[in-house]
Amino acid sequence: MESAFHLYGHELYISSSIGIALLDEHSPDVETLIQHADAALYYAKNEGRNNYQFYNQSLSQKKPELLKLEKSLRHALEYEEFVLHYQPRVNTVTGKITGMEALLRWYHPEMGIVSPNVFIPLAEESGLIISIGEWVLRQACKQNKAWQDAGYPPIVIAVNLSPKQFSQPNLVEILTDTLAETQLQPEFLELEITESTAIADLDFTTTALQCLAQMGLLLSLDDFGTGYSSLSRLQVLPFHNLKIDRSFIKEITIDPKVAHIIQAIITLGQSLGLKVIAEGVEKTAELEFLRSIDCDEIQGYLFYRPLSIDQATEVLKNEKA
């Protein structure tokens, strides 16, 4: 495979990843053998592609339910089984909606609603996340533009980007095309990447984010606190918003140490020019504490759960009134 292939005057290079399983006591029949070769193939791809790996028992075998889900995920876009829900976030002082986060839902014909925490990793692993992500982006931009055209106060729509989406080479092109197609101004689109995605390769992240910021998009650091990095390491990155993970917010009224840490994060974040958003606020006591320490915005069940398009539209209508 190393030599170039010539196709209609183009020189193409193809890399290959190979998974190998041997017919032995661990892989005794054809079906298991193929399953194990497949597991080894995933491993080879995870190891950076263009290599081969042998199956061994430590390669965690996927449960049959997951394999089944992964198979039906391949058709989910085509069968129109995806829906976006929108969770509003509000200004801590005024309670006014400042934006909505687009959250993907999969209605599986047999299994019902499947959580994104289950299917996003599968989509990521199989590469399906690229086409699913483009669909999410287009729907979210289209919806935000439709709300603006209907005369509702303009808000930001936030879309989550998985690690693979974030590192795809044509991300800027896809974003430019989607904004042009949907006629949404870039300042109304926010991209969320998680702390662990951001720190995986700081050089790459810096360059990519600078490009996106130059396009006029808003950038948000999601799930902050879960990636064990420090704000001082992240301050080189051109983020606009910092979203503190729910796992901390849950603790602020229980553990005084966590409360102090959150207070410090908010102060430091704001001094670096970031707007700080608390995720997963469920209790009035949490809101009161966050208000007392000047957290900018709140997203959580206390105000709104993720809403269907109709519910979200209704909420915007009331907001206007």
Residue 79 touches ligand C2E, criterion: CB under 6 A: no
Residue 9, token pair as written in the block:
């005057």
Site track 273-302 with Mg ion (rule: CB under 5 A), x = hit: ------x-----------------------
Q: Contact at 8 Å (CB) between 116 and 130?
A: no
Please pick, from the candidates 190, 223, 296, 297, the single residue that binds ligand C2E as defined by CB under 6 A: 223
Judged by beta carbon distances under 5 to 8 A according to partner kind, the member of ligand C2E, Mg ion, none in contact with residue 282 is ligand C2E
Site track 178-197 with ligand C2E (rule: CB under 6 A), x = hit: --------------x-----
Residue 269 touches ligand C2E, criterion: CB under 6 A: no
DSSP class of 129:
H
Please pick, from the candidates 32, 45, 52, 116, the single residue that binds ligand C2E as defined by CB under 6 A: 116
The whole-angstrom separation of Cα 83 and Cα 310 is 12
Judged by beta carbon distances under 5 to 8 A according to partner kind, the member of Mg ion, ligand C2E, none in contact with residue 241 is none
Residues 219-248 that bind Mg ion (CB under 5 A): 222-223
Q: Which helix (H) or strand (E) holds 68?
A: helix 64-76
* DSSP class per residue in 232-295: HHHTTS--SEEEE-HHHHTTTTT-HHHHHHHHHHHHHHHHTT-EEEEE----HHHHHHHHHTT-
Residue 292 touches ligand C2E, criterion: CB under 6 A: no
CB of 223 to Mg ion, least distance (A): 4
Strands 241-244, 218-224: pairing kind: parallel
Residues 233-262 that bind ligand C2E (CB under 6 A): 246
The whole-angstrom separation of Cα 84 and Cα 62 is 28
Angle at 243 between CA 119 and CA 130, to 5 degrees: 35
Q: Name the site residues for ligand C2E (rule: CB under 6 A).
A: 87, 103-104, 115-117, 120, 133, 136, 160-162, 192, 222-223, 246, 279-282, 299-301, 306
Q: Name the site residues for Mg ion (rule: CB under 5 A).
A: 160, 192, 222-223, 279
